[in-house]
Structures are given as C-alpha cells and as structure tokens.
Amino acid sequence: MKGAQALLETLQVSGVDTCFMNPGTSEMHFVASLDAVPAVRPVLALFEGVVTGAADGYGRMADRPAATLLHLGPGLANGLANLHNARRAKSPVVNIVGDHATYHKAWDAPLESDIESLARPMSGWYRWSASPSAIARDAAEAIAASFGPPPQVATLVVPADVSWLEAEDSTVPSTTPEVVRRAGRRAVVDDDVIASVAAVLRGGEPAGLLLGTSALREPGLLAASRISEHVGAKLLAESFPGRLERGAGLPIVERLAYLAEFAMAQMAGLRHLILVDARSPVSAFAYPGRPSDLVPDGCEVHELAGEHDDAVGALAALADLLGAPANGYRLAVAARPELPTGALTPASAVAAIGALLPENAIVSDEAITAGIYLPAATEGAPRHDLLSLTGNAIGQGLPLSAGAAVACPGRPVLALEADGSAMYTIQALWTQAREGLNVTNVIFDNGSYAILNIELARVGAEAGGPIARSMLEIGRPGIDFVALSEGMGVPATRAMTAEEFTKALRGAFEEDGPHLIQAVLPRGGL
C-alpha cells in the first residue's frame, strides 16, 4: 500500500481516530487515502491555527492525541502559535506536516522552507520521514512520543513521495504497536522524596502545594486536599492549567494570579512551596524593578513530582504517610450566583454563567480581563473542566473549543472569548458550524485590548498619548460578531443587558449545535 495509507492505518490501529486538517498539494495522497481508512475522521478547518488549536483541545479532553495535517513550512507556521499553547498545556498532538518530495527539496520551489527550524521550538519530538517503508514505524513513534510523559507535540514531516510510493506491507501494523502500548508511563516517585516532603509539612511552618498539569484532575485534587486539610497547607494551582477539574463536589484550588503582585500576595508568608508537576512560579512578563521569580524571600521550594512522574500516586502516598484521613478533603459545595439584572459587565456576565452553566461542561477561558471574576462565580457551579490559555498566545479559545467538542460529543462546551483574542482565529466558527459542534461562544466585546491598557501602565511606560492608546483600541470600527458568526453558519445574538445575556445564554445551552453571543461590555475593559 502507499505510504499515505500506511500512515493512516498506523494512526487507526494506535487509536488516533481524528485528524484536523488544512491540506495542500503535497498532502493530496494522504487526503486521497482517507476513504480507504474511514475510521480516521477528518475535520477540515479554514486556517491552520484552527487545526492546531483544535488538536490541542482534543488532546486535553481525550488524553490521547488527534493528528493534524498541515501544508509545508507556511502551513505549519500558521499553526505554531496554538502548538505553542499545546506545548505549554502538555497536550498530546501528532502534528503531521507534508513536505515536498524528497528529491524536489533541492530545487527550492516557492513553498520550500526550513520546516525543522520552524517546528523545533514547539515540538517535543521531531522527525522527517525518509521512506514509505519507514512511515509506519515513524508514525508509531510519533504517536508514542506524543503521550510523553509529559504529553507533547510530536511533529512528523512526510514528504510527498513518501506518501505516494509503495510501503512494504510488512511494515504496516495490524494492531496497536508495542511502542504505543508502552507510551506515557510515569515514573513512581521515590519514597525518600515523599518522606522528605512529609517532614517539611510536619514541621509546621507555613507551606503551600502548587499543583500543575497531571495533578489538576479529581484524583490528584482529592489527595492534595487531604494533605492541605491535614497539615494546613495552602492549595494552589499554576496560573494557566491546561485542564482543571473544578466545581461543586471537587476540591477548591486557588489559581496563582496572572499579575505578579497578586500572585506574590497569594504566596506571602509561605516558608515552603511544594511543586507537584508544576514549575516554580515566574512572572509572565518582566517589569522594570520587579522580580521574575515570584517565590517569596525566605520560601524554600521542594519538588514532590516532576513532569515525568506519577504526581497523583505521589500525592496519595504523601497523604497516607502524613496520616491524612482517606476522606479528609474539602469540597466545593453546590452554589450558584443569582441571575444578574441590569447592566452587562464582566461581573454580571460571569454571574449569569455561574448561574446557568450546565452539568459536565467544558469551559475554555480566553476571556482575558473580562474573565477575571469567573473563578469565583463558577466555584460552586456543576462540575466542569476549565481549559486555560496555557502559553499566553491568544487565538486559542475558539479552535480549542471545537477540538474539545469533537473529543467529547456528549458534553456542552462554553468558549469565553475576549474580542481581540477571538479575531485571531475567528475562522474556527466555520468548523463548529460544519461539524455541528455543541459550542456556546461568548464574545466579551469591550472594543479594546483591555489587558494592554493595564500592561501599558504596569511596564512603567508613561501612559502614552492618544497615538499609543489608539493601538490598544479595537472598537474603531466596531466589530459585529453577530454578522461574522452568521456569515460562517453559527446562529448568533447580541446582548446589551444582563437580562439579554441571560436569555441568550439559556437559549444557547438549550439548543444543540454552535451558537455565539456578542456580550457588549463597557468600552475599554475593566
């Protein structure tokens, strides 16, 4: 069989059953082979940033990779920002990039570029597949690599002739390859490490647990909450989790704030910070005269589990060693804000969301400043997954939501978007419509890159005159998101008041398929 089909069959037997794509000529053999391997579902996007963001959302929710299919260096380049977010999310992605035929590369045809140089910064694993008989093995290793630990972006470059030439059939697996079966296993944390952290916590000095990636699902959260309750340690989560399970019936964990001074306030007084699959906290940006390292003076940092380790097992063992009662966690109680009335503001909008969030929702938070009150408003809402802007590269949320909806067809997805961020990858709405995905898109329209108004002051720059401020202002002309949404096949509503927003939100949650609500907020943000 052709290399392209060998690749697709390897995906299939390895459980990679979804491929987000925007193909071109060099990928035509892959596309032509789709009908022969119908168990792999292709999902078309109109821009590669949608492809990669969707693959990230899929990976975060499915805990196994989707594939992508991208067109040479420029197609990859268009997808890199969301691969950056996927990398920071530790999301598994099998990132397939078509290339010119092996012998054609030397001719420097118009689309030729250095794909490896482009791919490496966002890829934990990279390979250029050199022959059709190697493609199945290369694909299996890419899939295995994507599982990590930690899960990562594995980029497999497939030259056109590797797709179109015949692979030796003996190279194509008929069941899950061994390398894939073995993939993703985490190392058990040494008893010594657990004992030394236990000694720190028993010492009674103010301590905090900082939880990251794999510790932010229910099992890790429960164990961490047992520890926290038993020894009085503060429970913190990294600022931008890839996926955080939260809501009523789950432990409450306070995310470190994005703004450094608030994060430092959250950690003030701590003498010990225990990292659990989390990195020591740093400021998102540098500011004149302020530190990059956010660990308070006099606070010692300890690592219970790194990104390759079984953090959940380590937390459970630590809780047991400390003698924390098996059910000694503290859970958020069910509680919702009242339905808001009157002006539509960031606060009233998230109150409506807290009041109406459906059971088992997936919430993508790219609301930036408009989402600042979201955590409190949804703490007691029904259990949900929160997906955050892991790599701080905006344009993630609409694609991510599409991918999450493909991964979890039975669950409602809520995409909370800042207007500026939404415009980066607005084409995702078309894929939502085409696939009939159950996504409620809320666009918080304040006509501004509002976060930058804050940052302009914070970097210590003089506030800037009218020219500077006009560069942060996107309300001239105003963007009609209802028109954009309907233009791509997603029904849409504009809400000017809390009541209108509540009505629109309820309607969107009640009806299957994608919807968009343009939530018109006070101009300029907070």
Q: How far is the CB of 424 from its own copies (least distance, A)?
A: 5
Under rule CB under 8 A, residue 262 binds its own copies: no
| 266: Cβ contacts below 8 Å, ≥ 6 apart | 234, 236, 254, 256, 257
Q: Closer to its own copies by CB, 109 or 376: give it.
A: 109
Would you say 44 and 68 are in contact if contact means Cβ atoms under 8 Å apart?
no
Under rule CB under 8 A, residue 23 binds its own copies: yes
Applying CB under 8 A, among 113, 176, 360, 497 the residue interacting with its own copies is 113
Applying CB under 8 A, among 130, 199, 483, 496 the residue interacting with its own copies is 483
User: What does each C-alpha distance from 306 to 27, 125, 228, 312 come to in angstroms?
Assistant: 38, 19, 19, 11
Instruction: Say how far residue 118 (Cα) sits from the centre of its chain.
Output: 21
Applying CB under 8 A, among 169, 191, 293, 510 the residue interacting with its own copies is 293
Helices (H) and strands (E) in the chain, counts: 21, 18
Under rule CB under 8 A, residue 117 binds its own copies: yes
Under rule CB under 8 A, residue 157 binds its own copies: no
Under rule CB under 8 A, residue 31 binds its own copies: yes
Applying CB under 8 A, among 154, 156, 158, 160 the residue interacting with its own copies is 160
Nearest to 34 by CA among 18, 58, 55: 18
Helical ranges in 28-71 per DSSP H: 28-32, 48-62
Q: How far apart, in whole angstroms, are the C-alpha atoms of residue 202 and residue 200?
A: 5
Residues of span 392-411 touching its own copies by CB under 8 A: 392-393, 395
Phi-psi region of 354 (alpha: psi -120 to 50; beta: other; left: phi over 0): alpha
The site string for its own copies over 204-233 (x = CB under 8 A, - otherwise) reads ------------------------------
Q: Which stretch in 7-15, 203-211, 278-286, 406-414 sits in contact with its own copies by CB under 8 A?
A: 278-286
Q: Which stretch in 204-212, 358-366, 407-415, 419-427 sits in contact with its own copies by CB under 8 A?
A: 419-427
Applying CB under 8 A, among 16, 29, 151, 189 the residue interacting with its own copies is 29
Q: Which stretch in 111-119, 194-202, 262-270, 311-319 sits in contact with its own copies by CB under 8 A?
A: 111-119
Q: How far is the CB of 253 from its own copies (least distance, A)?
A: 19
User: In the chain, what are the helix, strand and coil shares in percent, each to the nearest 5?
Assistant: 40, 20, 40
Helix (H) or strand (E) holding 68: strand 66-71
Applying CB under 8 A, among 484, 508, 516, 520 the residue interacting with its own copies is 484
Under rule CB under 8 A, residue 358 binds its own copies: no
Q: How far apart, in whole angstroms, are the C-alpha atoms of residue 80 and residue 30?
A: 21
Residues of span 50-109 touching its own copies by CB under 8 A: 73-75, 77-78, 80-81, 84, 88, 100-101, 103-104, 106-109
Under rule CB under 8 A, residue 329 binds its own copies: no
Under rule CB under 8 A, residue 21 binds its own copies: yes
Under rule CB under 8 A, residue 308 binds its own copies: no
**Number of residues lying near its own copies (CB under 8 A):** 103
Residue 3: count other Cβ atoms within 10 Å of its Cβ.
Answer: 31
| 227: Cβ contacts below 8 Å, ≥ 6 apart | 201, 209, 233, 315, 318, 319, 322, 324
Paired tokens of 514 = 């994608």
Under rule CB under 8 A, residue 464 binds its own copies: yes
Under rule CB under 8 A, residue 338 binds its own copies: no
Instruction: Say how far residue 436 (Cα) sits from the centre of its chain.
Output: 21
User: What does each C-alpha distance from 500 to 165, 372, 408, 519 come to in angstroms?
Assistant: 58, 21, 29, 9
Under rule CB under 8 A, residue 128 binds its own copies: no
Q: Which stretch in 140-148, 188-196, 376-384, 388-396 sits in contact with its own copies by CB under 8 A?
A: 388-396
Q: Closer to its own copies by CB, 191 or 293: give it.
A: 293
Hey, CA dihedral for 490, 495, 500, 502, is it positive or negative?
Answer: positive
Under rule CB under 8 A, residue 506 binds its own copies: no
Under rule CB under 8 A, residue 284 binds its own copies: yes
Q: Closer to its own copies by CB, 103 or 191: give it.
A: 103
Helix (H, G, I), strand (E, B) or coil at 306: coil
